[in-house]
Structure 1
Amino acid sequence: MRLQGKVALITGAGSGLGRRCSELFTREGAKVAIVDIDTDRAEQTLKLVQEAGGDAIAITADVADRAQITDAVNQTVDHYGKLDIAWANAGIVSRGGVPTVAGGEFVAFEDLTEADWQHVLGVNLSGVVYTAQAAVPALKANGGGTILATSSAASMVAYHNIAMYSATKAGVNGLVRGLALDLGRFGIRVNAIAPTHGMSPNFLMPPGSPVVGQSYEEVAGPWNPTVSPIPLKLSRPPSLSDNAKVALFLVSDDSAYISGATIGSTDGGTLSRVGMWFEEDLNPEPVS
């Protein structure tokens, strides 16, 4: 098992990718602190993990509150005796973001309030800073370890109507590079995943909504790769597990010499595009 004997803390673990990785990491031998602002969701994840034979605890914490996430790290160390992996996964989209997907109401950038900005900034960037700050002393005491953050494809290319979200995720990428440089001498690696596809629709749903447990593409109906915008054509849609397996690689010893990297975990060639379309005859069929 790739995480045998490791202790991992995962924020935003009550649903989506965080829940999937809580299950995956424990199957790979880790003991996991399931951290979420929603107590019920955290407890639901804990139940799933324990029913599968995994070792985990559930902790309620708001990552935008430095004291709360610091206490979550301290609870983890008190319970398990150490910390090897801290994953700052919790994230939210800015208000009015991606309305066509979420079925919500469009909100123009200039109409977003200071409170809107502070909310998305607090969770998506300050939350990563606070999680890392809380984890570093425990990782130093452990002789090293790994910090992982969840960034986004929106940190690399533009998406409509989520400029504030994109700004916070670009900040995560810069933070990862800076921390990798500063913390490497302590044996601490710092990386991020930047999902493009295969993420949970819960991200765009109101707080407290039932946990879907599948990706956008999986719940959209029968999969047809010929009409998918993903350049890579596979016979199945991208899933939460596709992102989870990249996260597993980055926190395991298989990636021992990777640090300061932001990896597009489910890009499938999407970000390779330029801002124009070419005729199909400029893209010949693969030679058999």
Structure 2
Amino acid sequence: MRLSEKVVVITGGGSGLGRESALLFSAEGAKVVVTDLSADRSEKVAKEVTAAGGDAVWLKADVRVESEMTAAVDLAVSTYGRIDVMFANAGIGEIGFGTVAFDELTLENWQAVQDTNLKGVFLAAKAAFSAMKAQESGTIVVTSSASSLAAYPGFVSYTASKHGVNGLVKALAFDLGRFGIRVNALCPTHGMSANLPLPIDAEVLGQSYEEAMGPWVKDHAAMPLRLNRPPNLRDNANVALFLASDESAYMSGVCLPSADGGTLARVAINFPDTPGVLPE
């Protein structure tokens, strides 16, 4: 098992990639602390983990509140004796989800996105560091976004927050490495949760955008790589698992595109699909 006996705290663990990772990490031997802004979601996922034979506890925790991130780490240590992995996964999308013009973007909405997506990662990492420093070991995994590598149109606040996340990951890799702590991020393009634009009390769909859109027609796929199924949450959870496991023991400061399908390999120029034929 790739995470045998490791203790993992997951923020935003009540839905989407956080929930998928909680189930996957547990199946790989981890003891999981599921945290989410929704108590109902946190508890439900913890029960799903235990029903599948795993070991999990849960806590309602807001990544924007330092004391609540500290409480999440304290719960891991008091329950399991240590923390090996902090998966700082919680995040929100752009307010209005790309429909608000830049000159109509309010400071309040800008700040709401930074508070969750950037400050939330900082507070999760800070809380984990206090325990990991004493252990002289630990791994911090962060959910960033492909928008940290190429801007999403209309997602000004979100794109800025995720670029900040990548910078934070690189800075922490320098500062925490001497304590045996490594810090990495996955930057998903496709296969992300269809719950992201929905309110927190919405039904947990357990699907990616591509799955939720209906029957998969690979010839119409948005990415160059065309497989016989759509990208899904597990595709990204597998990357998170790799970064959390000892398989990536000497990786730190890396921001790794996941479920990209070749999207970031393209340019805006409309080249033909046929190799060797230049555009007129």
TM-score (norm 2): 0.96
1:235 matched to 2:228: yes
1:119 to 98, 107, 112: 112
SS of corresponding position for 1:201: coil
Structure 1 stretch 165-174 or stretch 110-119: which is displaced more? 110-119
1:147 is matched by which residue type in structure 2? I
- Partner in structure 2 of residue 48 of structure 1: 48
Q: Does 1:225 pair with 2:218? A: yes
- Tell me: CA distance 1:283–1:34, structure 2 relative to 1, closer, same or farther (3 Å): farther
Q: Which whole-Å CA distance do the structure 2 matches of 1:283 and 1:276 have between them? A: 15
Q: Deviations over 1:145-200 (max 9, x none)?
A: 10011000011112121111000000010011110011111110100000000011
What one-letter code is carried by the residue in structure 2 that aligns with 1:179?
A: L
Equivalent residue, structure 1, for 2:250: 257
Give the alignment's Cα RMSD to 1 decimal. 1.1
Q: Which of the numbers 114, 117, 129 marks the counterpart of 2:122? A: 129
Tell me the amino acid that sits aligned with residue 70 of structure 1: T
SS of 1:226 mapped into structure 2? helix
Q: Following the alignment from structure 2 to structure 1, what is the Cα–Cα distance between the partners of residues 103 and 40?
A: 35
TM-score (norm 1): 0.94
Q: Residue 185 of structure 1: which of 175, 178, 183 is its match? A: 178
In 2, distance between residues paired with 1:113 and 1:279? 41
Deviations 1:228-259 (CA, angstroms, capped at 9, x unpaired): 01101111111100000010000100011111
**How is 1:268-283 mapped onto 2 (pairs within 5 angstroms)?**
268-282=261-275
The corresponding residue for 2:160 is 167
2:199 pairs with 1:206: yes
Which ranges of 4 or more aligned residues in structure 1 deviate by more than 3 Å? none
Maintained 8 Å contact 1:34/1:46: yes
Question: Structure 1 residue 143: deviation in Å?
Answer: 2.2
How many residues align structurally? 277
Q: How much does 1:206 deviate? A: 1.6
Match of 1:102 in 2: none
C-alpha distance after superposition, 1:187-233 (max 9, x if no partner):
10100000000011100112210000011111211111111011011
Q: Deviations over 1:6-45 (max 9, x none)?
A: 0000000000000000001111111010010001111111
Name the CA distance, whole Å, in 1 between partners of 2:274 and 2:253. 39
Gaps of 5+ in 2: none
The reply to whether residue 90 of structure 1 matches residue 121 of structure 2 is no
Deviations 1:115-172 (A, max 9, x none): 1111111100000000000000111122201001100001111212111100000001
Structure 1: runs of 5 or more not aligned: 99-105
- Aligned-residue offset at 1:281: 2.7
Mapped to 2, the partners of 1:209 and 1:270 lie a distance apart of 30
Mapping for residues 57-76 of structure 1, pairs under 5 Å: 57-76=57-76
Specify the code of the residue in structure 2 equivalent to 1:275. A
Contact 1:97 1:107 in 2 (8 A): yes
Decide whether the 8 Å contact of 2:47 with 2:56 is kept in 1. no
The secondary structure found in structure 1 opposite 2:251 is coil
- Give the counterpart letter for 2:168 in structure 1: L
The answer (yes or no) to whether the contact 1:96–1:161 under 8 Å persists in 2 is: no
Larger deviation, residues 204-213 vs 273-282: 273-282
Q: 2:241 matched to which residue of 1?
A: 248
Percent identical residues: 53
